[in-house]
Structure 1
Amino acid sequence: MRIPRIYTADEQLQVGTMVALDREASNHLSRVLRLRVGSEVVLFNGDGHDYQGKIEAIERNQVQVHLLQTQEVNLESPLHIHLYQGISRGDKMDLTLQKGVELGIKEFTPIITERCGVKLDEKRWAKKLQHWGKVIVSACEQCGRNQIPRLNPVTQLSQAITQRSGQDFFLHPDAKTQFKNYGEVSQDQAITLWVGPEGGFSESEIDEVKRSDITPVALGPRVLRTETAALAAVSVINSVWGDF
């Protein structure tokens, strides 16, 4: 049986100490996985280490773990891929975040575009970000990463463009360039990838992006859904310049 991996916000994990997990993590271990006292677990807090431990006590809504040993684990991509993703409806955004974490993305910025079908007020955007943060953490627990990708606030496209890094690519079905034809990139700079929502970027947005010297790239002759496009592009980037 695979040893469960659990994220904890505790900033100072030390071998030999006890860690009291929060209610959500405790319920997952005790009620969903039905672990018992003595079961092995791995904790991580984003500092680049895995902390092996055993469940010492299970109380109502709280599991306590005794940390036995630690080791540094680096499963990170050599590339800092930053995905600017046009916000999509339903669970499509969740899928993009989840699989993006598995593929090694280190930073996400949800962007509002003209064809964005999700319209929320500030309070509800905050709840969305909280939910997306949990999706990212859960994906890290599953895939073995122990450094949590950064999730930036929801941003308008025009504002996000001002944050560009210089190694920028946006997906456009009519582009003449493909990733394999671009040449080399620097691993010391972030690679930003811009993906539109359902329906893609509008013509005015495409013009705005082009004026910012962001390189348009195509992913072949077929039109891909937004959640497929982002994941396919990251896979190609990893294959051409990363650790695939």
Structure 2
Amino acid sequence: MPRFFIDMPLAAGQLVDLPPEVAHHIHVIRLGPGDPLTLFDGNGGQYEAVLADVGKKRATAEVRTFDPREAELPYPVTLAQALPEGTKMDWIVEKAVELGVAAVQPLAARRCVVRLSAERAEKKLAHWRAIVVAASEQSGRNRLATVAEPAELRDWLAAGSAAPRLLLTPRATQTLADWARATPPQPVTVMVGPEGGFTDEEEQEALRQGAIGVAMGPRILRTETAGLAVLAALGMAWGA
């Protein structure tokens, strides 16, 4: 059944004018009055609805029953991802949402090739948040992951964190698997470096600020693979 995010509070019994982009998609996939669909507003749970009226550029749905189902991880995971080259961040955000990430924090590290101006950062942020919506619609999640504004690594580290920060580094003496087995499920932040990794100085500063170094094993993962592998591994170790 088609699922759509609606950026407004929903309630059973409402007659809702669907956003233009949703109405366009409904027209493209040739849905008509009486066809069922699922709507969610990002506040948890979802609503079963039926199309009441469909035009070329508009559509109206009748919101019916509320379903409280959730698809969130029982422990919020934040992915602190150093900005990679090209469109890799798009793929990382999409797949991280599918794997249950609660938040994404883009970071500017020394070896990052990408340097975003304020204008480009604003456009990228809107683009990544749109990817979150699309990935949530596809994956059955009813709450939207947040994407924070890009931050300089040193500033982000200095701000501190209530949750443990896991620094992915091949120089760590413990593996993620060992750490997860010895640690109860809890909120956690995963730090992933850019192509080439964090510099030695950045890793040392992260460790001084309380980060926990962990390795993924004997193989070196690409920046677009590492964070996703951690999300999957934590899901296996702690339960998804």
Normalising by the smaller structure, the TM-score range is: over 0.9
The sequence identity of aligned pairs, in percent, is 33
| Structure 1 segments unaligned to the other structure (5+ residues) | none
Residue 192 (structure 1) shift: 0.7
User: Is the contact made by 2:4 and 2:137 (CA closer than 8 Å) also made in structure 1?
Assistant: yes
**Which residue of the partner structure matches residue 5 of structure 2?**
7
For 1:129-173, what per-residue CA distance to the aligned partner results, in whole angstroms no more than 9, with x for missing partners?
000001111111011010111211111111111232241101001
User: Is the contact made by 1:184 and 1:241 (CA closer than 8 Å) also made in structure 2?
Assistant: no
Paired with 1:89 and 1:29, the residues of 2 have a C-alpha distance of 34
Query: What is the 5 A alignment of 1:1-244?
Result: 3-11=1-9, 13-31=10-28, 33-161=29-157, 162-182=159-179, 183-187=182-186, 190-243=187-240
Paired with 1:112 and 1:14, the residues of 2 have a C-alpha distance of 41
| Structure 2 segments unaligned to the other structure (5+ residues) | none
Paired with 1:120 and 1:179, the residues of 2 have a C-alpha distance of 31
Residue 34 (structure 1) shift: 2.0
User: Is the contact made by 1:39 and 1:54 (CA closer than 8 Å) also made in structure 2?
Assistant: yes
Paired with 1:119 and 1:26, the residues of 2 have a C-alpha distance of 36
Matched residue type, 1:194? M
Runs of 4+ in 1 over 6 A off after TM superposition: none
Matched residue type, 2:188? I
Q: Any idea what SS the aligned residue of 1:82 has?
A: strand
Paired with 1:160 and 1:217, the residues of 2 have a C-alpha distance of 19
User: Is the contact made by 1:53 and 1:68 (CA closer than 8 Å) also made in structure 2?
Assistant: yes
Aligned length: 237
User: Is the contact made by 2:18 and 2:60 (CA closer than 8 Å) also made in structure 1?
Assistant: yes
Paired with 1:47 and 1:175, the residues of 2 have a C-alpha distance of 38
Q: Any idea what SS the aligned residue of 1:84 has?
A: strand
For 1:104-142, what per-residue CA distance to the aligned partner results, in whole angstroms no more than 9, with x for missing partners?
111111111111121221011001000000111111101
Q: Report the TM-score when normalising by structure 2.
A: 0.94
Paired with 1:117 and 1:237, the residues of 2 have a C-alpha distance of 29
Paired with 1:199 and 1:19, the residues of 2 have a C-alpha distance of 49
For 1:53-80, what per-residue CA distance to the aligned partner results, in whole angstroms no more than 9, with x for missing partners?
1111112422111112111111111111
Q: Any idea what SS the aligned residue of 1:48 has?
A: coil
Paired with 2:32 and 2:66, the residues of 1 have a C-alpha distance of 22
For 1:189-244, what per-residue CA distance to the aligned partner results, in whole angstroms no more than 9, with x for missing partners?
x201000111111122111112112111111111111111110111112222232x
Paired with 2:223 and 2:103, the residues of 1 have a C-alpha distance of 18
Matched residue type, 1:26? A
Paired with 2:73 and 2:20, the residues of 1 have a C-alpha distance of 32
Matched residue type, 2:26? L
Q: Report the TM-score when normalising by structure 1.
A: 0.93
User: Is the contact made by 2:27 and 2:56 (CA closer than 8 Å) also made in structure 1?
Assistant: no
User: Is the contact made by 1:165 and 1:192 (CA closer than 8 Å) also made in structure 2?
Assistant: no
Q: Any idea what SS the aligned residue of 1:117 has?
A: coil
For 1:77-111, what per-residue CA distance to the aligned partner results, in whole angstroms no more than 9, with x for missing partners?
11111110111122211111111111111111111
